[in-house]
Amino acid sequence: MELLLLGGYRFLGRAIIAVAQARGHAVTAFNRGNLAPLPGVEAIRGDRDDPAALAGRRWDVAIDTSGYIPAHVRRSAEVLRDAVERYVFVSSLSVYADPMPPDCDESAARKALPAGADANAAAASETYGARKALCEDELAVVMPSRGVVVRAGFIVGPHDNTDRFNSWVERAAKNDRFLVPGDPSAPLQMIDVRDIAHWIVAAAESCLAGPYNVTGPAEPYTALDVARACIAGTESHATPVAVASDVAEAAGLVPWEHIPFWMVPETSTLMQMNVDRALTTGLQLRPLVDTVRDTYAWLRSSEHERRIVCPPELERAAIAAALT
């Protein structure tokens, strides 16, 4: 197949390209050129505001990893309507309306943009989910029955420069007491970037359509499961210590700013998504310890500036308070 990637090569795009090439597909990438193109990838330079550079070409499938503004998705879909057979759009589980029901499936209600908000203004984090839902709608209008909507969960693994999961991996590797925030039995779901990339390319090959929750596992990990996988995958001798949220915050730790995946009961359903539809279409998930091992190997060779670093003195203080 001839695949068109709308997006960059930093993380998910990189993994999609690797999978596509391994399966014998040719890849063209449309992006602003902030990174050097990967070997074997044809590059088309351009911006989502003006996808005119795509006109006059044909591909089998477009895979959109960079659509956050509804007008951008509409413009791309309009240019590509007669140029591709299928359009795979990477959306988010954040599209679902609050409160999300337990075991939330693809039929659940989605977020609406607040009254007066501009759907196509510069994206803001508080309207991220609603904008993604509108992006899905734009694709459905332009390419009815030809769009695959990938409602992705938290994506982790090598080359992840968000450092959300990476920060757990690097804390676990320190051979020290390792803070597990909040309820150690809290559910957590996440997906290795290579696993979601495999599913996306397979979805393009199989001509799927409609929305899919793509995360895992079906039976969520617990926070303690994740901590133990991080310790095992880094071959550390760290000891996990569960620290209640009030104790950790009293020590100065801030949820998600210092320690991501710090779940509270009000948001736990985000980590209990129903993924049956994706599993029945071939989604396969590798053991979390393998993701940790490969992520740690990449981190040891990566010089990127860490976006999330838990202050070790605050982690030690919180653990000490919990053990007192």
**How far apart, in whole angstroms, are the C-alpha atoms of residue 89 and residue 66?**
9
pLDDT at 297: 98
* Mean pLDDT taken over the chain: 96
Count how many Cα atoms sit within 13 Å of the Cα of residue 126 in the half-sphere of its side chain: 3
At 172, the pLDDT band (50, 70, 90 cuts) reads very high
Angle of helix 193-206 relative to helix 12-22, nearest 10 degrees, comes to 50
Q: What are phi and psi of 237, to 5 degrees?
A: -110, 25
- The residue type found at 170 is E
What's the mean pLDDT in 40-63?
A: 96
Give percent above pLDDT 90 in the chain.
Answer: 93
Q: Model-level pTM?
A: 0.97
State how far the Cα of 55 lies from the Cα of 304, in Å rounded to an integer.
36
pLDDT of residue 123: 64
Is residue 249 within 8 Å of 314, Cβ to Cβ?
Answer: no
124 pLDDT higher than 80 = no
Q: Which string of b and e fits 39-75 if b means at least 16 CB within 10 Å?
A: eebebbebebeebeebeeeebbbbbbbbbebbebbbb
Averaged pLDDT, 223-252: 98
Q: How confident is the model at residue 112 (pLDDT cuts 50, 70, 90)?
A: very high
Is pLDDT above 90 for 206? Answer: yes
Task: Write out pLDDT tens, residues 311-321.
Answer: 999 999 999 99
Which CATH number does 2-152 carry? 3.40.50.720
125 — pLDDT class (breaks 50, 70, 90): confident
Q: Which residue(s) pair with 31 in the sheet?
A: 45
- Is residue 36 over pLDDT 90? no
At residue 89, the pLDDT reads: 98
pLDDT in tens, 287-311: 999 999 999 999 999 999 999 999 9
ω into 211 cis (within 30 of 0) = no
**CA separation for the pair 80, 98 (Å, rounded):** 33
